[in-house]
Structure 1
């Protein structure tokens, strides 16, 4: 009798790991229950024992990404527990960004979820704890969270996005769309042309390059340092 082939039991964690791998390889639009089941070598109905449909799958992806952020931040917090509040927050946000750059579909996904991933509250509690230990009041900590916005999760919200107006996020196509508006909006379009990202710059959107992310983050941290006293 031949040896039996071992097959790893199907679990929620295994399904979500396969979903993340598929989204990373082909984008979030390629992720369907049928395609995911095919990648796992199972029938699509088997997925419903672990995730309640497509929305449950997307919620699970959001939880997975937040879990990766928590793990990355936990590592740097342990290594830099004696650092000042500014350094700790900067490292925390940049660690979150590394996760987002691994999963460029994640910022868009997090913005569409109506259910907040379980780990988000604990993550933000850590941010507030860092501010309080750095000498901030709870009132200033609350205002800081508003100022940080999505930077805390590693990405910057778009200021102007061609996609939000039904256009394209492809750089060449977007440039053509902007060029068509140059006469009516000369200063805005000149700024957009000047700020077109270098393809070597890791970016998560039209207005979210690494340089812009760190510029905004440092500006906020410097400002918070001034008003703390």
Structure 2
């Protein structure tokens, strides 16, 4: 996801193929100000190193900041390669109730998610006039109904399954419905679909969520652009 909020360009979760998609869509990695990784699973960060090397022009022009959980950079099995550490000026580790200022915006760590094998937190992006919420992967629990902001301009949900599915640490459309009733964003997007979700038709799921909540819900598709 490429987020532009008050002129700041933020790349969120550069998963497989991210570098190619950026150029296909007419963007330039050198315009990225901040890279945000919600968690270390490869579907969210497989292209992190490729993007960092491209964006920094092989470390000659380091990017301003990487925001992520600590296990993306540190520990025995980090995602970011050591030789690219100097391609970023700052590393800011996200966590519950962590606020990271950058230029005219704030990046906030909110709710801790239950996600197997990866430190994961909800993330919000606040400017003077806009508020965007990114809800990454994780198994739904009651604690997720506290900690996010209400009435955001845009709320993006990683919605993997159409119905609750035992044994997986991912949200379902049923979980998202509960969260929509609680947080009431002005606009919502569902994304991160499993095969089961694709077979159920994400657009139909989004329409159903809109009917049940009275809120505009959109199913993501490749190359989608959205104003908020």
TM-score by structure 1 length? 0.27
More helix as a share of residues: 1
More strand as a share of residues: 2
TM-score by structure 2 length? 0.27
Larger Rg: 1
